[in-house]
Amino acid sequence: MANALLIGDEAPDFEAETTEGHIRFHDFIDGHWAVLFSHPKNFTPVCTTELGYTARLKPEFDKRDVKVVGLSIDPIENHDQWATDIRETQGYALNFPLIADASGKIAELYGMIHPNASNTLTVRSVFVIGPDKKVKLTLQYPASTGRNFDEILRVIDSLQLTAKENVATPVNWQKGDDVIIPTSVSDEDAKKKYPQGWNEQRPYLRVVTLPTA
């Protein structure tokens, strides 16, 4: 298995056939955010529910300027029938590319094969990648457990906010909630940025409400 990708690493580039044609991954990102997530196999029940729900959430990803791409180790000719099953059982048609990684090369490149779980099937990997093509988040789920894509959206909201503003987000943060002033920001600098003040629970725990646009 390839070395696991770490946060801050550049996402490896690759070329692949998908349900929406041939892509080169770095060109596909092209200044956008991206989510790459893997599925152990076509025509499996948990994967079917995940792909249907992701299709349902496509407008939410679009709002956040996020391109979504799935990956399965099955060949491209199997994807069309599975897409029909997804639409008929989940109520949403596949509306993002699904990579056919029959050779397993991309799965190996991204460390999606965990030999102690399976020598051939990918685990449920998620990679959130920034416009700079750097990995911002990695998640690994076992094949038996479906992912929470609402949580992935929540994390993307946090990643995008903290990339724009020099803040951190607290436990269970949701978009619009108060945020934390990092300890790297002095009180003097914080007063310039937040003249409205903040709630200092401890010198290292300063909670602030961001102005709304």
Among 47, 69, 99, 121, which one carries the catalytic annotation?
A: 47
Q: Is 182 a catalytic residue?
A: no
Q: Are the CB atoms for 34 and 61 separated by under 8 Å?
A: no
Q: Which of 140, 139, 146, 172 is nearest to 158 (CA)?
A: 172
Please report which helix (H) or strand (E) contains residue 208, including its range: strand 205-208
DSSP labels for 29-72? Answer: HTTSEEEEEEES-TT-HHHHHHHHHHHHTHHHHHHTTEEEEEEE
Residue 118 tokens, joined: 């399976």
Provide the annotated active-site residues: 47
